[in-house]
Structure 1
Amino acid sequence: MLSDELFSSVCGPPIAANTAISKDVGIYAHTLSPTWAVKSSFKKSSAPVHCLAISDSHVFAAQDQKAHVHVYSRARGNQEALVPFQERIRCLALAGDVLILGTAEGRLILWETCTGRQITTPPCHVQAVSCIAVSPSHVLSASDDSNVNVWSLPRLLEAGQDIGHEPDRTLSNHRAAVIDLVLGPGSNPETSLCVSASKDKTCILWNYQSGQVLRTLLFPTAPLCISLDPCARTLYVSSEDASLYLVELFGDKPLLGSRSAELASIVMQINSPLGVADEDVGPASCMTVSHGGTSIITGHVKGKILKWNLVDNSHPAELANLNASVTNVVFAPFLSEKKHTQAVTVVKPNQSQRQYTLTTQLEGDLDHDTRFNQMLSANGFSSETIAQALASFAASGGSSS
């Protein structure tokens, strides 16, 4: 049975003198289904919000108020490397084998973990980069300066001159720091959806490839973390007053698209929350939606992880108490992209080097597929298989007569 694997991180001192919870553990790997349990843990880490990324083989965690990243091996369950950088890391995100980091000086650092190649942009924001979101072809960086920059990922990675070291466009409708940023799954230029949340109490829905504002949502208090469901049809927002809001983008009164009854310039006030967390839990600092879209997992400043069931809209259930501020909850990749190679270990970045060595492990059999494997992977029966079967049937019939 397939199970959802959830990673969580904590940052800061213990909340209570609870000896049952290890003070040295900073990252936990949990199984969400069929039952909640701690699968493994990683020590000596203190990752703030937006500073945890998960790949098929590794865990990357930027450290609080420091200029280095801890790299953990998921297979071996230990720390594989400590990678230093020249500036403090405020956030990070993973795009394939490229780890993208936002610094306190407003720069982006791209690190190819399989070769060690490092690319550093000039200060693209006038203040620190607060969060990063990635798609297969774009990088979006948000900042305390209230702006969101849209970058072409292939241009950033292009070898040679610094052709990609300027953003394609800047999204600048917010009036305060941007504190969270999410992307929809679509890559079509006409449906490229992203949502930014700001301390100005608004969430703005954008087409990030055109720079068009699709909708502005206003909340009673500032949103702290946001998430989209897997189909990007519903937006979930957790705010400073511990409320959780559900905003349907394509419901009976669509907010987006040609069926929308109002102009995109009209600000929509959101007042009715889906639910409110208990007072002893505190506001959520991080949030994620399950792969099936039926539940929401929130991590809270008072150490608890809650599960909100969207099927029956019941009161949130407490999954764990980690006795420190929960800063990240991230699901591990569920259906990973098929790769023919896998890097055995990460290679530390080197910005001055111009030649790189790739050490990788080949996945699968190098021989050609057998006839059975070809038949197994085909949709139905191929014409070649049917022709061989008919020829065999005709030959057997002729010999018997």
Structure 2
Amino acid sequence: MLTEEFVSAICGAPLSSNTAIAKDVGIYCHTLSPTYSVKSTFKKSSAPVNCLALSETHIFTAQHEKAYVHVYSRPRGNQEAFVAFPERIRCITLIGDVLAIGTTEGRLMLWETCTGRLVSTPARHVQAVSCLAGTPYHILTGSDDSDVHVWSLPQLLEIDSTAEHEPLRSLSHHRAAITGLSVSPSVSSDTNFCVSASKDKSCIIWNYQTGDALRTLLFPSFPLCLSLDPSSRAICVSCEDGALYLAEVFAEKPLLGPGAEEATTVVQISSPFGAIQPDVGPASCLSVSYDGATLLTGHPRGQIMQWDMVANQSPVELANLNAAVTNVAFLSPFPSDKPTTTVNIVKPSQAERSYTLAVQFDASYSSSRADTRFDSMLNTPGFDAKTLEEAVAAFHQPAAAELSTSTAAADQDLKKQNEELWEIINEQRALHKQALKRQTETKGGK
């Protein structure tokens, strides 16, 4: 049976002297379905909002008002590393094996967890980076200065680049601090978009590859956090007044696409999806399940609430962690297609100029089978002479190889078209013969 799991993190001292809850636990791993339970816990962590990142093997948490990241091994169930950085950390997110870090000085740092390589940009924000969102090709940084910068991930990770790191573009329509960012999983330049939330009581939907503002949503109070559902059909927003709002992107009156109003039209969102009781407090973090049916919210008085997105019933309290819940994130139920696994992270270093990739191959190798070329290359320092010669020869004749491939494909298509044409001709001939036969029989009968 498929299990549904999520991770939560807390920040701050215990709210009461509840002896049933361990005081030094900072991270909880929960099982939501088929039956709710706390699967495991990790100690010595105090992670503020937007300071939790998850991978299949590790949990990363930045510490409140500190320049530290705690790294926990999920398979071993313990703290693996304590990592120090040059500046205090405000937010983090994980993109593959790269941990993106936003600092209080307005800087973006990228740590390759498998090599230890650390890339740092100049302070392009004039205030702290408050939130991050990432895709395989882009990183978005939101700041207290009200701007959202869009960065190219391949350019930032380019080795031996002498160019000074600059964002591709800035999204500058907000008038107050950015409180949340969420980006759609699409990688198409026509369909991908991101949503930013701000203390100016608005959320803006952007095409972040062009810099166009597609729609502005206004709320009764300023948003604290937001999340897109996995298929980017709806935007979930928690506001300071304790209300939860749900804006459907492709509803009867769509926000985007055919049938949508002009981008300059502002949409007022006034009807909440649900409201939090005053004794619980507004949600400081939220996460939508991968099937889009469940919404989890974390609250400053320790509660984790479960909302049914389909039936729209009253929320259910899953747990009370006796401290402010600042991060909630679902674990992906899908198996990874990565060929490698990070067993141990490599601490960051700016002094090194050569790096070693420390990963474990997931493929099972049998000692009884014959060695492949890949095996021999793994056991050879660097690249052998034969591999280099073949690579150089491939660079000298790429056009001929492409031409040969394209010619063969064209011949195959032409042959297929000829066969289809002959089928049509033969069918027409058979129909013509049948028509002539019927005409002859009709004349003979007369």
**Equivalent in the alignment of 2:312:** 313
| Cα deviation 1:185-244 (Å, max 9, x = unaligned) | 111101121000000000000000000000000000001111111110111111001101
Tell me the C-alpha RMSD between the 2 structures: 1.3
Moved more, 330-339 or 300-309: 330-339
**Equivalent in the alignment of 2:294:** 295
What secondary structure sits across from 1:180 in the alignment? strand
Task: Confirm or deny: 8 A CA contact 1:156 1:164 kept in the other structure.
Answer: no
Distance (whole Å) between structure 2 residues aligned to residue 16 and residue 238 of structure 1: 26
Q: Does the C-alpha gap of structure 1 residues 162 and 52 become closer, same or farther in structure 2, counting only changes over 3 Å?
A: farther
**Equivalent in the alignment of 2:407:** none
1:142 CA drift (Å): 0.4
Q: Does the C-alpha gap of structure 1 residues 130 and 162 become closer, same or farther in structure 2, counting only changes over 3 Å?
A: farther
Distance (whole Å) between structure 2 residues aligned to residue 314 and residue 76 of structure 1: 38
Counterpart code for 1:235: I
Query: Which contiguous aligned blocks of 4+ residues in structure 1 show a shift greater than 3 angstroms?
Result: none
What secondary structure sits across from 1:92 in the alignment? strand
Please list, as runs of the form range in 1=range in 2, the aligned pairs for 1:89-108 lying within 5 A after superposition: 89-108=89-108
**Equivalent in the alignment of 2:193:** 193
1:113 CA drift (Å): 0.4
1:354 CA drift (Å): 0.3
Q: Does the C-alpha gap of structure 1 residues 357 and 367 become closer, same or farther in structure 2, counting only changes over 3 Å?
A: same
- Greater CA radius of gyration, 1 or 2? 2
Task: Confirm or deny: 8 A CA contact 1:26 1:41 kept in the other structure.
Answer: yes
Bigger relative contact order, structure 1 or 2 (CA pairs below 8 A, ≥6 apart):
1
**Equivalent in the alignment of 2:133:** 133
**Equivalent in the alignment of 1:154:** 154
Task: Confirm or deny: 8 A CA contact 1:152 1:164 kept in the other structure.
Answer: no
1:164 CA drift (Å): 6.4
Distance (whole Å) between structure 2 residues aligned to residue 163 and residue 139 of structure 1: 18
Distance (whole Å) between structure 2 residues aligned to residue 362 and residue 59 of structure 1: 20
**Equivalent in the alignment of 1:207:** 207
Distance (whole Å) between structure 1 residues aligned to residue 140 and residue 162 of structure 2: 18
Counterpart code for 1:44: K
1:343 CA drift (Å): 2.4
Distance (whole Å) between structure 2 residues aligned to residue 273 and residue 351 of structure 1: 48
Counterpart code for 2:288: V
**Equivalent in the alignment of 1:325:** 324
Moved more, 205-214 or 249-258: 249-258
Distance (whole Å) between structure 1 residues aligned to residue 216 and residue 351 of structure 2: 44
**Equivalent in the alignment of 2:361:** 362
Counterpart code for 1:347: V
1:333 CA drift (Å): 2.5
Structure 1, unmatched stretches of 5+, are 371-401
Distance (whole Å) between structure 1 residues aligned to residue 164 and residue 43 of structure 2: 37
What secondary structure sits across from 1:311 in the alignment? coil
Q: Scaled by the length of structure 1, what TM-score is found?
A: 0.90
**Equivalent in the alignment of 1:118:** 118
Task: Confirm or deny: 8 A CA contact 1:155 1:163 kept in the other structure.
Answer: no
What secondary structure sits across from 2:33 in the alignment? coil
Distance (whole Å) between structure 1 residues aligned to residue 162 and residue 97 of structure 2: 21
Counterpart code for 2:176: A
1:178 CA drift (Å): 0.1
1:5 CA drift (Å): 1.2
Task: Confirm or deny: 8 A CA contact 1:56 1:336 kept in the other structure.
Answer: no
1:161 CA drift (Å): 2.0
Q: Does the C-alpha gap of structure 1 residues 314 and 367 become closer, same or farther in structure 2, counting only changes over 3 Å?
A: same
Distance (whole Å) between structure 2 residues aligned to residue 341 and residue 185 of structure 1: 22
1:363 CA drift (Å): 1.0
Counterpart code for 2:262: L
Distance (whole Å) between structure 2 residues aligned to residue 269 and residue 360 of structure 1: 49
Please list, as runs of the form range in 1=range in 2, the aligned pairs for 1:7-18 lying within 5 A after superposition: 7-18=7-18
Moved more, 139-148 or 350-359: 350-359
**Equivalent in the alignment of 1:216:** 216
1:75 CA drift (Å): 0.5
Task: Confirm or deny: 8 A CA contact 2:294 2:309 kept in the other structure.
Answer: yes
Please list, as runs of the form range in 1=range in 2, the aligned pairs for 1:177-192 lying within 5 A after superposition: 177-192=177-192
Counterpart code for 1:326: V
Counterpart code for 1:320: A
1:37 CA drift (Å): 0.5
**Equivalent in the alignment of 2:345:** 346
Task: Confirm or deny: 8 A CA contact 1:226 1:236 kept in the other structure.
Answer: yes
Distance (whole Å) between structure 2 residues aligned to residue 212 and residue 169 of structure 1: 11
Counterpart code for 2:304: I
Distance (whole Å) between structure 2 residues aligned to residue 254 and residue 272 of structure 1: 16
Moved more, 203-212 or 350-359: 350-359
1:337 CA drift (Å): 2.9
Task: Confirm or deny: 8 A CA contact 2:68 2:84 kept in the other structure.
Answer: yes
| Cα deviation 1:362-383 (Å, max 9, x = unaligned) | 2122369x9xxxxxxxxxxxxx
Task: Confirm or deny: 8 A CA contact 1:156 1:163 kept in the other structure.
Answer: no
1:15 CA drift (Å): 1.2
Moved more, 232-241 or 154-163: 154-163
Distance (whole Å) between structure 2 residues aligned to residue 337 and residue 208 of structure 1: 27
Distance (whole Å) between structure 2 residues aligned to residue 286 and residue 169 of structure 1: 28
1:163 CA drift (Å): 3.2
Task: Confirm or deny: 8 A CA contact 1:92 1:131 kept in the other structure.
Answer: yes
| Cα deviation 1:329-385 (Å, max 9, x = unaligned) | 0112221431222222000000110011223222122369x9xxxxxxxxxxxxxxx
Moved more, 244-253 or 339-348: 339-348
Task: Confirm or deny: 8 A CA contact 2:225 2:237 kept in the other structure.
Answer: yes
Structure 2, unmatched stretches of 5+, are 370-446
Distance (whole Å) between structure 2 residues aligned to residue 217 and residue 72 of structure 1: 38
What secondary structure sits across from 2:156 in the alignment? helix
Q: Does the C-alpha gap of structure 1 residues 2 and 164 become closer, same or farther in structure 2, counting only changes over 3 Å?
A: farther
Task: Confirm or deny: 8 A CA contact 2:296 2:307 kept in the other structure.
Answer: yes
Task: Confirm or deny: 8 A CA contact 2:113 2:345 kept in the other structure.
Answer: yes
